[in-house]
Structure 1
Amino acid sequence: MPVSDAAMPQGTTSGPEPGGERGAGMMRAAPRTLSGWAEFGRLLRHLRRRAGLTQSQLGLRLGYHHSLISKWESGLRELPAPLVARLDTVLGTGGELGAAEARLRAAGSAPRPLTAVVPAPARPPSRPDTPAVRHLDEHGRPEPPLAADETATLLGFLDHQRATLAWKCEGLDEAGLRATVATSSLTLGGMLKHLACVEDRWCSHWLHGRDPHPPWDTVDWAADPDWDWNSAAGDSPRQLRTLWRDSVTRSRRLVAEALAESGPERLALRARPDGSRASLRWILCHLIEEYARHNGHADLIRESVDGRTGA
């Protein structure tokens, strides 16, 4: 049965709403479908539904906002060749999208470098978890904004690091996620589980003072301080990726809530033993540091698995 697509957030537009604060009395022209890409979009929608994914779920796997997936499926945005290849991998299409893109290229509708425009709601003026414009690099990762405010810059760098981890783990089977380098016991699977734990620990447990989410709520950390790393060997690739993606989704929502309350100065609700509490600014910096450190490890492990390199 086809999976229903996630609805756009109320008030989300690519411009002023008719009758809104900035759009009273204005009429918007219908979006223009790009020549040749409507058929590609219909194929993408069919393959996504065949894979049992909503637009939000596919966007999460790729690191993009679901509104951009909707534009691709409607033929309103072109896709660069590297992103088409990623879609084929994520959806398990056997190269159907790549073949369709090759036909477009042969017909003169070759994709251009992509600038992903993520609409911002009219009210409030901006969403702290979704920068208005994101440029995507050759690996489909959102690049941090060059001249944004503090919050957008921090979130931009964090999302870039998250997308880097997803790229380093992309397409690997159980053996690939369990591979090690030299005498180190670090694995990409362990990295996914560890960073899922880090996301929940800082954005839920510390920032909002909540009890640990499963599976962390039943762990005896005193018996095994590295349980997140060690237990990953018993999890399937699907379980590890789902655990990490769910943690990231939850973190984005919780960080947005905290930012809406009092910005990056918002203090964690849970205090350290000495009574001190970290600010949201500190937490975001720490998450960036944590991801960047482990992505360096991920570079070496992935190269040892199949030769893939790149930072």
Structure 2
Amino acid sequence: MTWTAPQITRTPEAYVGDERTMVEGWLDYHRQTLLLKCAGLTAEQLRTPSVAPSGLTLLGLVRHMAEVEAWWFRENFARQTVDYPYFTEKNPDADFDVTDADAEADLAVFHREVELAWAAVVGRSLDETFTEVRPKGRTFNLRWVYLHMIEEYARHNGHADLIRERLDGVTGD
């Protein structure tokens, strides 16, 4: 039997709540939206580029966002040592190179990075600041990270929507 990305039930975003509830809800909503765009597709479909000359794929987006989660929440904010599964100094864009990628394993990496991101911020204030590890040493607060991650997912979910439509005609949501 051919492996396919699992179906998901997306939790609706909160319409009312305090700031933390709202930013966490919107971030989780966008995380789930990316998975929704992958649901029901085979590994081969997830590795299929959108349209030439672009090499952008749904699986590449999943891999990229796993590393973005690790970069902002764990390495920068929580100051954890992160062993990136794709990024290397020699190939910083390896997350998008899905030629020989294992889609099932890569989705598991994504889920794990989301769990680790949640763990890195539990009980921490949105006002808590940190200085980025590299390249510029700018100072941010956790609130900025949440807002940036919502923006990053929203942008890439637009890409994902177009890729999914190109693959099998599925649109929306």
Which TM-score band (shorter chain)? Answer: 0.7 to 0.9
Q: Name the structure 2 match of 1:224.
A: 91
Q: Name the structure 2 match of 1:279.
A: 141
Q: TM-score, normalised on structure 2?
A: 0.88
Shift of 1:269: 5.6
Shift of 1:292: 0.5
Is 1:288 aligned with 2:161?
A: no
Change over 3 Å in CA distance of 1:213–1:144 after alignment to 2: same
Change over 3 Å in CA distance of 1:273–1:227 after alignment to 2: closer
Shift of 1:268: 2.4
Superposition pairs of residues 75-224 of structure 1, within 5 angstroms: 90=6, 140-183=9-52, 184-215=54-85, 219-221=87-89, 223-224=90-91
For 1:239, which of 85, 94, 105 is the aligned residue?
105
Change over 3 Å in CA distance of 1:176–1:273 after alignment to 2: closer
2:37–2:164 Cα contact (<8 Å) kept: yes
2:67–2:84 Cα contact (<8 Å) kept: no
What is the SS of the residue equivalent to 1:181? coil
What is the SS of the residue equivalent to 1:233? coil
Q: TM-score, normalised on structure 1?
A: 0.51
For 1:211 and 1:225, the matched residues in 2 are separated by 17
Query: Any runs of at least 4 consecutive aligned residues in structure 1 with deviations exceeding 4 A, and if so which?
Result: 269-275
For 1:303, which of 156, 165, 169 is the aligned residue?
165
Shift of 1:245: 0.7
Report the AA paired with residue 167 of structure 2.
V
- Unaligned regions of 5+ residues in structure 2, if any? none
For 2:106 and 2:139, the matched residues in 1 are separated by 31
For 2:135 and 2:101, the matched residues in 1 are separated by 34
For 1:252, which of 113, 118, 121 is the aligned residue?
118
For 1:194 and 1:159, the matched residues in 2 are separated by 16
- Unaligned regions of 5+ residues in structure 1, if any? 1-88, 92-138
Note the aligned Cα RMSD (angstroms).
2.0
> Across the two proteins, how many residue pairs are aligned to each other?
168
- The one-character-per-residue Cα deviations of 1:252-278 (angstroms, maximum 9, x if unpaired) are 11121xxx24x1001126455554321
- The one-character-per-residue Cα deviations of 1:225-270 (angstroms, maximum 9, x if unpaired) are 311111x3222121111111111111111121xxx24x10011264
Percent identity, aligned pairs only?
Answer: 35
For 1:154 and 1:199, the matched residues in 2 are separated by 15
Change over 3 Å in CA distance of 1:274–1:237 after alignment to 2: closer
Q: Decide which structure has the larger Cα Rg and report it.
A: 1
Report the AA paired with residue 40 of structure 2.
G
- The one-character-per-residue Cα deviations of 1:43-101 (angstroms, maximum 9, x if unpaired) are xxxxxxxxxxxxxxxxxxxxxxxxxxxxxxxxxxxxxxxxxxxxxx849xxxxxxxxxx
- The one-character-per-residue Cα deviations of 1:141-176 (angstroms, maximum 9, x if unpaired) are 112211211111001110110110111011211221
